[in-house]
Amino acid sequence: MPTKKTVRDYIRTIVDFPHEGIMFRDVTTLFADARGFRICIDQLLHPYAGEAIDKVVGLEARGFIIGGAIAHQLSVGFVPIRKKGKLPGATISEEYQLEYGEAVMEVHDDAIEPGEKVLVVDDLLATGGTCEAGIKLIERLGGEIVGCAFIVDLPDLGGRAKLEALGMDVHVLCEFEGD
């Protein structure tokens, strides 16, 4: 009898990408497999069954793929949080720290109404900087975050602990340690 595949089984590891010493967790192989993608979306949604959710926020860029699918399943709106300069309308922005320097995330200033319940999604949780910037943007617009869901967690980088210290409920499907 064949063993049942998990979400982790669909994720490819690419050694030394984008730099030497990095083990890149490539979720495009998960997205390309219909069964794997379905399992992923169902498992990301499971902890939030029955919760009132008004919007799903996807973090650039792979968060758009899963965020759109989750928003569709929930029959709610989808909001992208993007890198600076990528959104055409009036935006608010939030700076955050990268390993070497800073970056800026933006969201349309009318994307979330005060009091709306928001689920934040992305493919990978590393240091938590991108998600923290997204959380700050959502909260500045008055949104209430019901949770943060990720496909992959790299626990050695501390992102989950950072988000939980902010009071966030964090849900991940699999972990890759030692990265």
Catalytic residues, by residue number, are 62, 99
Name 56's Cβ contacts closer than 8 Å, sequence gap at least 6: 67, 68, 70, 71, 74, 76, 77, 78, 79, 118, 119, 121
- The Cα 62–Cα 30 span in angstroms is 12
Q: Which amino acid is at 10?
A: Y
Distances from the Cα of 172 to the Cαs of 44, 51, 100, in angstroms?
8, 17, 26
The residues with which 50 forms a beta bridge, in sequence order, are none
Q: Which helix or strand (DSSP H or E) is residue 95 part of?
A: strand 91-98
Query: What are φ and ψ of residue 104, in 5° steps?
Result: -135, 135
